[in-house]
Structure 1
Amino acid sequence: MRYGKEHKQTTRQRIVETAGRRFKRDGIDSSGISALMKDAGLTNGAFYTHFPSKDDLVANAVADQLHRQNANIVAHAAPGRAGLEQIVRWYLSPQHRNSPVDGCPSAALLDEIGRCADPTRQAYTDGVLLVIDGIAARLAPDNPHSVRTKALGAYAMMAGTLQLSRALTDWQLSDDLLEQGIHNALALLGAEDEPATASN
């Protein structure tokens, strides 16, 4: 039975979406084509109908995950400082920490992406800059390009904080780290009006 172009595109997108989730859960290297296709409800043999290689799927999945992060979180945030705080508080929330499969691909995959081939790293660069530009537009609406590096620095700080919070076995310490991360990121972005008071 022959399927139309639309069906093929829908199937391809399903593979990309399910692969993105598995990569964030198990890692890129630990996710074989058999498991990826099983997640999508397809046979192994169908893989090469949609992608020339696993590397191509990885690049597409990384880009898709970042576009989703931008569309679902950054693009919906309010303008200005209120939006910056929404983004930071979502990113460094216990819910995000506890749900890596549904969360940011940077925090889940950055170490592996750095070892990937250039097409995947380029897909990551393009996708992360989409997110960063959304942050920069709230930080300096009149000249977002001027604060792009600052926004990238805050994003890097948040990703590292989230990674560390997931590695800790002490949940209270992990929660405290997330709160400190919120303070640090907002301070770096100049979106915090009052300094946080130290807790005892």
Structure 2
Amino acid sequence: MARYSPEHKEATRRRMIETAGRRFKSDGIDRSGIAALVADAGLTNGAFYGHFASKDDLVASVVAQQLADQVAVVSSLPVGLASVEAFVREYLSPAHRDDLPGGCPSAALLDEIGRCDVAVREAYTRGASAMIEAIAHHLDDGDPQRTSERAIGLFSLLVGSLQAARAVTDPELSDRILAAGYSSAMALATTPHPPARASRQDTE
């Protein structure tokens, strides 16, 4: 029996995660059977269980990797509002809306992830937290709590806007949802610092 190198095994595992991610986002987690998942990767059922203990194990791995890839993109951008604007514009673009298999894992899978086992939800929690931190790095206004809240708000707004734009059947309404989401996201990203409270001495 041929022995595969660690590099080959890792490449096979990565291919399985990548193809499963596209299948999950396109068809849904529940509707994606192991037979279809292994066929997409050019593997057999036996090979699947050589890399993953179960379908849930694969789902958790997909969620972790997809979010890690997304975080890497945001983290690689030059720090500043220009990068935020470019990311928001691309995220809420018609092209991203129409590319379900290749798009954001949160927008495509959140409803199902909420019903998955705890290992999948923990993988999502770690990934979403890292994504929020990456966004916060671009929004830093000197107040860690306020910056974190704005990053959470921006992350949630982007995901929800994309989900709504994909769900409606009216193309014009879908485009308006994307446009409104963009405007709201940029308003949140550019929220000015609240004015400092005047001291009692200043007002006397």
**Fold agreement, TM-score > 0.5:** yes
Tell me the number of residue pairs that the alignment of Structure 1 and Structure 2 aligns. 191
Q: Are positions 1:119 and 2:104 aligned together?
A: no
SS at match of 2:37: helix
**CA shift at 1:191, angstroms?**
5.8
Unmatched runs of 5 consecutive residues or more in structure 2: 193-204
In 2, Cα distance between equivalents of 1:142 and 1:39: 47
Give the 5 Å matches for 1:91-106.
91-106=91-106
Q: Is the 8 A contact 2:161 2:177 kept in 1?
A: yes
> Which TM-score applies when normalising by structure 2?
0.88
**CA shift at 1:75, angstroms?**
2.4
Q: Are positions 1:30 and 2:38 aligned together?
A: no
- Answer with 125-134 or 51-60: which moved more: 125-134
Q: Is the 8 A contact 1:113 1:121 kept in 2?
A: yes
In 1, Cα distance between equivalents of 2:133 and 2:91: 16
Change (3 A) 1:21 1:78: same
Correspondence for 1:160: 160
**CA shift at 1:142, angstroms?**
4.7
In 2, Cα distance between equivalents of 1:30 and 1:83: 36
Correspondence for 2:51: 50
Q: Are positions 1:170 and 2:145 aligned together?
A: no
Runs (4 or more) in structure 1 with deviation over 6 Å come to none
SS at match of 1:13: helix
Question: Rg larger in 1 or in 2?
Answer: 2
Unmatched runs of 5 consecutive residues or more in structure 1: 193-200
The one-letter code sitting in structure 2 at the alignment partner of 1:124 is Y
Correspondence for 1:78: 78
Q: Is the 8 A contact 2:141 2:147 kept in 1?
A: no
Over residues 32-90 of structure 1, what are the superposed CA-to-partner deviations in whole Å (9 max), with x where a residue is unaligned? 11100000001112111001111111000001111111223x12433111111112111
> Which TM-score applies when normalising by structure 1?
0.90
SS at match of 1:100: coil
